[in-house]
């Protein structure tokens, strides 16, 4: 009898245990347990959303800044163009030569073909035009002046006054701007195979002598020749 009761309780206990396990499994299956970090996950997701929102705002602001920058760059470019045009305009205004003067490098030249004056009067004539009798800084400037004079006057016997003289000390030739006049080739010419200047104290003013290819000769200051006037565009 005791054996029968024990077996009964063992069978009943096992059945109850099996039934209990089965219920737990079903519950877990249909009601899975909450994740232990459930609250943390929600918080992380919220932070990500905020970060995304901030990134989006930053991106929009960057785009707006870029558009503003492009607009500003366009305006700046236009300003630079306008200033450049003004600079060119001012520069060209500075370097333009007045009236009948022709531009050669940084100077303007004008040969008054219809005018014959003494050296002093010729100088005043040029000064009244805002310049002075022409001087030549170097051989290139002299060559340019010769080309201009030769192209301006048809007559080879024309002579033109330039801004050089030796009236203070015989033989010491100076330009009207105070600089020493160069001597010899290619400036000075020859007369009857004699190197100019050759007339001593009788001739103290410099002229471009047409019959000698407009090379420089000493002339009598009271003679009347055509003024070769010059306006300097810079202080060089």
CB of 160 to Ca ion, least distance (A): 18
Question: Across the strands, what pairs with 219?
Answer: 205
130 torsion bin: left (phi>0), alpha (psi -120 to 50), beta (else): left
Instruction: Tell me, by CB under 5 A, how many residues bind Ca ion.
Output: 2
Nearer to Ca ion, 147 or 167 (CB): 167
CB of 206 to Ca ion, least distance (A): 9
| Dihedral sign, Cα of residue 156, residue 158, residue 163, residue 164 | positive
CB of 123 to Ca ion, least distance (A): 17
The H-or-E segment that residue 103 falls in is strand 102-104
Phi, psi (deg, nearest 5) at residue 157 = -90, 10
Q: Give, as ranges, the residues between 12 and 71 that touch Ca ion (CB under 5 A).
A: none
CB of 173 to Ca ion, least distance (A): 8
196 binds Ca ion (CB under 5 A): no
Q: Give, as ranges, the residues between 117 and 176 that touch Ca ion (CB under 5 A).
A: 166
Q: Which residue has the tokens 């009067």?
A: 121
- The answer to whether the CB of 135 falls within 8 A of the CB of 230 is yes
Nearer to Ca ion, 28 or 180 (CB): 180
* Neighbouring residues of 212: CB distance < 8 A, sequence distance ≥ 6: 189, 190, 191
Nearer to Ca ion, 166 or 196 (CB): 166
Selected range binding Ca ion among 40-48, 137-145, 155-163, 200-208, rule: CB under 5 A: 200-208
Nearer to Ca ion, 131 or 219 (CB): 219
- The answer to whether the CB of 158 falls within 8 A of the CB of 222 is no
Q: Give, as ranges, the residues between 204 and 233 that touch Ca ion (CB under 5 A).
A: 204
Nearer to Ca ion, 132 or 218 (CB): 218
CB of 171 to Ca ion, least distance (A): 7
- The answer to whether the CB of 130 falls within 8 A of the CB of 232 is no
Residues engaged in binding Ca ion (CB under 5 A): 166, 204
């Amino acid at each position: 009898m005791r054996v029968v009761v024990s077996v009964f309780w063992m069978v009943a206990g096992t059945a109850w245990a099996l039934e209990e396990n089965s219920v737990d499994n079903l519950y877990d299956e249909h009601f899975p347990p909450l994740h232990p970090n459930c609250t943390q996950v929600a918080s992380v997701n919220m932070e990500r959303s905020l970060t995304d929102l901030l990134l989006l705002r930053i991106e929009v602001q960057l785009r707006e800044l870029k558009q503003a920058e492009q607009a500003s760059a366009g305006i700046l470019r236009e300003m630079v163009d306008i200033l450049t045009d003004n600079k060119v305009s001012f520069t060209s205004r500075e370097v333009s030569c007045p009236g009948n003067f022709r531009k050669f490098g940084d100077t303007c030249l004008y040969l008054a073909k219809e005018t014959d004056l003494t050296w002093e009067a010729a100088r005043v004539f040029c000064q009244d035009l805002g310049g002075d009798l022409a001087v030549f800084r170097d051989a290139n400037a002299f060559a340019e002046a010769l080309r201009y004079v030769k192209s301006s006057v048809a007559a080879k016997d024309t002579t033109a006054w330039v801004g050089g003289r030796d009236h203070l000390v015989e033989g010491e030739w100076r330009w009207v701007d105070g600089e020493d006049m160069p001597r010899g080739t290619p400036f000075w010419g020859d007369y009857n195979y004699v190197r100019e200047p050759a007339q001593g104290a009788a001739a103290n003013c410099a002229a471009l002598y047409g019959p000698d290819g407009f090379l420089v000769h000493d002339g009598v200051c009271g003679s009347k020749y055509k003024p070769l006037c010059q306006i300097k565009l810079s202080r060089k």
